[in-house]
Amino acid sequence: MKHFSAVLFLICTLSFSSCIDFKTKKSTEETDMEDYNTVVVPDAYSVEIPKFMRSTTGLNEEASLQYQNIFKETYVIVIDEPKSGFVDILKEVGQFDENLSLVQNYREIQMQLLSSTMYISHQSEPKPLKINGLDAEMVEVDATVDGIDEGISYLLTFIDGTDDAYMMMAWTLQSKKDEHKKTFETIAESFKLID
């Protein structure tokens, strides 16, 4: 497993420090797939990313995918963990719940790590879903972090892949949550493993 807690801490600190409050005209976002590009992570997965977002490397060095638009305050990353390593480590430390699915265990541990690095003011109930045949769960989170004046809203999607578990983290300022929610859902639901 790729330095699990260090990765999460880095995600949080780098992601929050990249939130710059540019005043932009609010627009109503609708799902029109012509406004998206298919981004392929070789030998892994593909995902639909809005054309207004650009590839970056500054959000998290462990992420296999990183896109942003600093003017619209939209950010998305994907972290992948080998399932075998993840399960083995959780079992070794007594944190793997045999009564939960792998994706539920993955969500539980990631949410614990997130709550240790930020103050979560709201967390939705996990929404189970299938994303292109894969078991997944989606959670909405509103949180505050030291040093950031405005709250941050996240859409976290946990996906059980063939060999890896994936966490897709999309975020924006809390004041822009409604503006970008549908776009974030579209990105998450487009996730597809490459055969």
Digit-coded pLDDT (tens) for 47-100: 999 999 999 999 998 999 999 999 999 999 999 999 988 888 888 888 888 899
Predicted confidence at residue 28, as pLDDT, reads 42
Predicted confidence at residue 15, as pLDDT, reads 43
Quote the CA–CA distance of 45 and 42 in Å, as a whole number.
7
Predicted confidence at residue 18, as pLDDT, reads 41
CATH code where residue 36 lies: 3.40.1000.10
Burial class (CB in 10 A: 0-12, 13-18, 19+), 105: buried
Give the pLDDT of the chain (195 residues) as one tens digit per residue: 443 333 333 344 444 434 433 333 334 444 577 899 999 999 999 999 999 999 999 999 899 999 999 999 999 999 999 998 888 888 888 888 889 999 999 999 999 988 988 999 999 999 999 999 999 999 999 999 888 889 999 999 999 999 999 999 999 999 999 999 999 999 999 999 998
Predicted confidence at residue 31, as pLDDT, reads 56
From the list 18, 58, 67, 81, the residue with the least C-alpha distance to 38 is 67
Quote the CA–CA distance of 107 and 127 in Å, as a whole number.
11
Residue 159's domain comprises 4-193
Predicted confidence at residue 141, as pLDDT, reads 96
Start-to-end C-alpha separation, the chain:
23
Q: Number of structural domains, the chain? A: 1
